[in-house]
Structure 1
Amino acid sequence: MTNALEKHVLGISGGKDSAALAVYMRQHRPELDIEYFFTDTGKELPEVYEFLGRLEGFLGKAILRLNPDRDFDFWLKQYNNFLPSPQTRWCTRQLKLRPFELWLKPILEEGNTVYSYVAIRSDEEYREGYSSKNERLKIVLPFKDAGIDKPGVHDILESAGLGLPRYYDWRSRSGCTFCFYQQKIEWVRLKEQHPEAFEEAKSYEKDAVEQGSPFTWSQGESLDELTRPERVKQIKEDYEKRLERVKAKRQTNPLRSVGEDIDIDELFGQSKGCLACHK
């Protein structure tokens, strides 16, 4: 029987927080042999893959791709063509957590202890990104312990020469192109930035509705309805009004930089998005 060992893993979502944590751990705990992994749904934004490549260059090692053995289309059929939603997040369960569990299962069964590093910031309430019944899987929150908040995350990425993933120019989260946690302005921008991906999302939605799914991608309206010219105009106007209100409030706060970027989560309220995708 082999001696039990320790393994250190860090999940990369394609978002800013997990990327900053990878940089932080390389800089502050270089003695740890951390294995970085990315669970690939096959429906990610092109900007995500580009950013992963740049992050690999900084880390000096490859990010392991945990490709699910069954893709989004397979699981959609298993769920009778019902779209995933905040109420039934089967995409996270089957396409993100399941590959992670299958990867770690033999490692834990050998008696090894696995430390999983999660990018919950100090300015966030702790949300459990993964709960395990195995006592040898330990969740570690370095940003919480070090008091690193959102501006601190931006500083880490800027100082490393990485900056933010390019999709942050128009969207607030990574994950699938058709993530149901997107705001309506983000659906409009997806159509503008990646029309092919938008059309694919629309086709999934059409099939789901025909099969009796109670959910559309965006709450309260179909993508067809959301992208009618008059509706797009309304969504963009609402976004600009929100942006102006937040800017006005910021100017009265001497502790905040007026020129600091305002992200979509800040405009619409922090979403309860899946940690495996969003961080």
Structure 2
Amino acid sequence: MAEKHVLGISGGKDSAALAVYVRQTHPELDIEYFFTDTGKELPEVYEFLGRLEGFLGKPIARLNPRRDFDFWLREYNHFLPSAQTRWCTRQLKLAPFEQWIRPMLAAGDTVTSYVAIRADEDYREGYTSKHKNLKVRLPFREDGIDKPGVMDILLSSGVGIPEYYDWRSRSGCTFCFFQQKIEWVRLKERHPDAFEEAKTYEKNALEHGSPFTWTQGESLTELEQPKRVIQILTDFEDRKARELKRRPINPLRPVELLDDIDDLYGVDEGNGSCVVCHK
């Protein structure tokens, strides 16, 4: 029997900062890092994972080598995942993690899983352990580290943040249904092939009787129409201006754009996304 320490990397800023933080504060721990790959990640995510591996000095294990998004989409009769039916989180994130640690628990090992929930996220809950030997720790909450603290960790370490934060608020699957409409517009601009693939998935889903489209209330074909794109861009810029206007100026942090990406993108439609995916 042994003590194991595992830490999941989502490709987002919080889990990356946690990996850096635990390595810096507890260098004596032999952490096993893992990434549950949907097979449909942004290329920026893989670039960031490589950068993070360079800092950590060890590889990040990739889970899901055989059963990716396309496999499970067929299993669910081409019905798209949605906020009401999150089969992607269950099959592509939680199940691979549980399968990965099962041999450790079966051997009688104690496994401690470190989860990146910040001190300013009282509304979030982490993974709930179903095994007596699986312990869950929330170091950021324990040590009072909030969103600005996460940014400080990443920037001071030199790891930085993923490039997709220039236009998107979270990691996870390329066509995550928690994206805002503005993020779909940006996906079409930055990765048109991925947008077209998402349209194909949506068309097949509707033909198979799925009640869901990727984004609530309209299909991607409707969303990409020029007049609709202009409306989405205008609405976002108006909301962004209101958010920046109401935000108090912090003289110690004159530039706070990086700290508030979630506020600018995810305050409305993006709320409620899965911790295990985008953190």
Confirm or deny a common fold (TM above 0.5). Answer: yes
- Contact 2:165 2:261 survives alignment (8 Å): no
2:255 to 259, 264, 274: 259
- Unpaired runs of 5+ residues, structure 2, are none
* C-alpha contact 2:37 2:64 (8 A) present in aligned 1: yes
The aligned counterpart of 2:271 is 271
1:29 to 26, 29, 42: 26
TM-score (norm 2): 0.95
2:104 maps to amino acid: I
1:128-277 map, 5 Å: 128-250=125-247, 252-254=248-250, 257-261=253-257, 263-267=260-264, 268-269=266-267, 271-277=271-277
In structure 2, how many angstroms separate the alpha carbons of the residues matched to 1:160 and 1:63? 18
Provide the rounded CA distance (Å) in 2 between the counterparts of 1:99 and 1:181.
21
Is the CA contact 1:68–1:95 (under 8 Å) kept in the aligned structure 2?
no
User: SS of the counterpart of 2:7?
Assistant: strand
In the alignment, structure 1 residue 11 sits paired with structure 2 residue 8? yes
CA contact (8 A) 2:37 2:68 kept: no
Please report how far the alpha carbon of residue 75 of structure 1 lies from its aligned counterpart in structure 2 after TM superposition: 1.0
The 3-state SS of whatever aligns with 1:271 is: coil
1:66 match: 63
DSSP-derived class of the 2:234 partner: helix
Q: What displacement does 1:132 show?
A: 2.7
Rounded Cα–Cα distance in structure 2 between residues aligned with 1:188 and 1:125: 31
Instruction: Using the TM superposition, name which of 197-206 and 75-84 deviates more.
Output: 75-84
The answer to whether the 8 Å contact 1:41/1:68 transfers is no
Name the % identity. Answer: 71
Contact 2:129-2:136 within 8 A present in 1 as well: no
Q: Choose the corresponding residue for 1:90, options 75, 87, 90.
A: 87
CA–CA distance in structure 1, aligned partners of residues 24 and 114 of structure 2: 15
Query: For 1:129 and 1:224, how far apart are their aligned partners in 2?
Result: 36
CA contact (8 A) 2:126 2:275 kept: yes
CA distance in 1 between counterparts of 2:243 and 2:233 reads: 16
- How far does residue 58 in structure 1 lie from its aligned partner after superposition? 0.4
Q: Deviations over 1:62-91 (max 9, x none)?
A: 111112432211211111111000100000
Letter in 2 for 1:271: N
Query: Do the aligned partners of 1:84 and 1:91 also contact (CA within 8 Å) in 2?
Result: yes
Note if contact 2:69-2:92 (Cα within 8 Å) is conserved in structure 1.
yes
Shift of 1:126: 4.7
Of the three residues 35, 39, 45, the one matched with 1:38 is: 35
Cα RMSD over matched residues?
A: 1.4
SS for the counterpart of 2:111 is: strand
| Alignment length (residue pairs) | 275
Alpha-carbon distance in 2 for matches of 1:138, 1:181: 29
Deviations 1:142-185 (A, max 9, x none): 00011100010000000011111000000000011000000000
Q: Deviations along 1:84-121, whole A, 9 cap, x unmatched? A: 00100000111111111111111101111100000000
The structure 1 segments of at least 4 consecutive aligned residues displaced by more than 2 Å after TM superposition are 126-129, 252-259, 262-265
Query: What is the DSSP-based 3-state SS (H/G/I as helix, E as strand, rest coil) of the residue aligned with 2:113?
Result: strand
1:257, CA displacement in angstroms? 3.8
* 1:111 alignment partner in structure 2: 108
Secondary structure of 1:92's counterpart equals helix
